[in-house]
Every structure is written in structure tokens, then in C-alpha cells.
Amino acid sequence: MPIDSTVRTLAPPIAPIDTTDISQLKIRASSADTILQIDGRLYHLRLRAIADSAHMLSAVTSGIVGEAFAADSNFVHNKRVRGPEGLYSITLSESTGRRVFHREFRKANFYSLVGADIAVVAEPEIPVFLGYYPQMGGLAFWQSVSIPQSDVGNYLFLLLDLRGQVRELSYGSALGYGSVDCTPCPAPNGQALLTCSKLLRPGKAPLSLLKPKSELALARFLNDSTLLTIYTYGEDVYEYEADSTLKSMRFVEPPQMKRVPNAFLTTVHGTKLAEFRYNGTLDGLGNQVPRAYVSKCQTYYLLDYERGLRLIDKRNPAATREVIFQQMARFKPPQKPREVRFLMKEEVGDIEFYADQDHPERLRYRKLAVQ
């Protein structure tokens, strides 16, 4: 058989479409008992949170905890609140029943992270188990500490090694008002762990995401190595009653900061890739950035309802751009063959977008009436 000596040029392989929207990860529900696998072996993780009413605690409130939790009838003058001690326990055992470690926390362990007054009156809750992250050296948890029947409090991030020693215990996010649009999670390649207030990296010091005189509105991974953070500049302003009880609280942004870049694309090492101004954050019962990931365009779209869309290429986030509504065509049927439809939901009305797969910045849109 003769040898075929014809030189053929092979077409480059077509990269598969990345369909994963890691900017929308949600936290799982808490579970008191979990079976997990570590290095191929099965383990049992047991979580417990118990109120110990035989041991009552008290603290002077800053004004955030009300008279319903008063320690005595002199609350108007002493501002002292009370609540039962709490015992939080985490136990890891082998499948055979042999205990690997047992770790306990008391409410006092959380005073510096949420405030003694809130921790004292809080009903003990079991944490959410986030997962085992070997690169970070242990088991991660998301602990809620709050005033009962309210959204006032904080989420705390906890990391324990396999001996039960604390590797990290820190503030994660507010619970309701001022909360971060964030889910504590690892980067897709496992080389960083987002706590919603900082980045943990193996063998390196934690990288804080908090800035002075500002509120972190969003922290989300966009790919293996890129993090998007968005801030609202300003501070909380408090108003008190004549008896020093907290009357109201509002967030005030200084006028000179309204045009300063507040959104940053950085690597997990802290290197800045790009920055821009984004004014689309919704602040209801916590911060929320309306967004969509369109896999066929490999693009994240952030919505500013008054202005337009911010585009971030998942493969090259530094090449971000803005497309305002005036640059988009109004949608008129039919939908074109290479267009992808996506919907952005808003309280004031949804917006329907149509993006060209080959040119994600070419957009048509129409605003839909509120149903």
C-alpha cells in the first residue's frame, strides 16, 4: 500500500463552551449530620447547638438590642440584656465510630465578631458545613449569630484543621441590611477560598476585601483566577431616641465619591486587572447585583437599570466594557438566528435582552411591563 505523503492542516480544536455560572452559587442548607469523604475514607460530621438556660449571660447593648431582652426592669438606664449561654459543638468521627476531634465554642468566642449584646441574646444555631478543602487545610463552616426573629446579626467564617484546631474564625458578612452579595466558596481550581470578607490562599497571608469608609456589596469568583468586588462608598449614620435607643440607621455616600471607580477585577493574588464605576447595586434586605451569565457568549452581564449593561468576558475579564441603553437597538421580532435571549428581573420591571453570540456587545432589548 503506497504511503500517503499529503500534508494536511488540522483545524484547531474547538474549545468547549463553559456553561458554569459560578457567580450565582448558593449556600446549602444546614444539616446536623453529614457523611463526607476525606482522602478516600468516609467520615461522620456531627453539628450541635444547644442553649444552656442554667447559665445566663448579660451584656450592655449598644442600642441594637431592644427591651424585649432586658436583663431587669432598669433597662432604660442600664441597657443590659440577657440570654442563655450557648454551646456549639463540631465532632468528626471515622466511619468506625472512632472520634477524630471534638471542638466546642461558647458565645464569648463570637463577641468580638458580632457584638456581645447580639451574641448573648442569640438563639444557638448549627453552622452550615461548606466543605472539606485540603488546599486550605481543613473543614469550613458558615455560622449565623443574630437577634432572634430578626435579620440583625452577622455570618462568621470558621475553618478547622483535622485536629479540630481553629485555622480561621472571622467576620464573613452581615445577615440582612448591608449583607454582601456573596457565597463563601473555593475558587474553581481550589487555589483560594472566599470568606466574603477576605481571600484565603495556601501558604499566604489572608487578603482582606474590606475597605475603610465603604461597604462591600459583592464578592464573586468569575473564573479560576479572577474575583469581582463591588463597593458602596460611605458610612452608616445612626439616629437615637432621647433615651439613647437606636431610632434609625441609614447609609450615606459622600457626593465626591459618586464617580470614583467602585468595582474591581483582581486576581486571587491581589493584582488589579481592571476597575470601573457601577451604580446598579440594589440595596433592599442586603446588597444584590443583578446579573446574568450567557454561556454562548462566554460573558457576564451586570445590569444598571438606569444606564445599561457592564460586560465581562469570562475568558478575559480585563477586557470589560459598558454598553449603555442608547447604544442598543430596541427589540423588534423576530429573534435573529445567532441571538441569545436572557432576562433580567427587576422590581420596577423586567428587561429582555438579545445578544449576538459572535459579538456579545451587540444587543437588543425591551422593557417588560410589571405583571
Residues 275 and 210 in one domain: yes
Weakest mean pLDDT among 79-83, 235-239, 267-271: 235-239
Could you tell me the CATH number of the domain that includes residue 52? 2.40.128.510
What is the spatial distance between Cα 324 and Cα 329, in angstroms, rounded to a whole number?
11
Question: Rounded to whole angstroms, what are the CA distances from 145 to 33, 59, 249?
Answer: 20, 15, 20
What is the spatial distance between Cα 171 and Cα 112, in angstroms, rounded to a whole number?
9
Place of cell 476531634: 101
Residues 300 and 204 in one domain: no
Place of cell 472571622: 170
Q: Kindly state the cell numbers that stand for 290.
A: 443583578
Q: How confident is the model at residue 245 (pLDDT cuts 50, 70, 90)?
A: low
pLDDT(48) > 90:
yes
Q: Within a domain: residue 196?
A: yes
Tens of pLDDT, residue by residue over 303-342, are 999 999 999 999 999 999 999 999 999 999 999 999 999 9
pTM for the model:
0.90
From the list 103, 89, 97, 96, the residue with the least C-alpha distance to 162 is 103
Residues 239 and 311 in one domain: no
DSSP state of 154: E
Question: Rounded to whole angstroms, what are the CA distances from 88 to 52, 72, 103, 122, 138?
Answer: 11, 27, 8, 12, 18
Q: Within a domain: residue 179?
A: yes
Residues 314 and 273 in one domain: no
Domain that residue 307 falls in: 290-371
From the list 166, 253, 192, the residue with the least C-alpha distance to 217 is 253
Q: Within a domain: residue 3?
A: no
Q: What's the pLDDT at 49?
A: 97
Residues 332 and 206 in one domain: no
Residues 197 and 183 sit within 8 Å (Cβ to Cβ): no
Beta strand segments in 175-307, E: 185-186, 193-194, 198-200, 207-208, 214-221, 226-233, 235-240, 246-252, 263-267, 272-276, 282-283, 287-288, 291-294, 299-304
Is beta strand 198-200 parallel, antiparallel or unpaired with respect to 193-194?
antiparallel
Residues 165 and 114 sit within 8 Å (Cβ to Cβ): no
Task: Name the burial class of residue 105, with classes exposed (0-12), middle (13-18) and buried (19+) by CB atoms within 10 angstroms of its CB.
Answer: buried
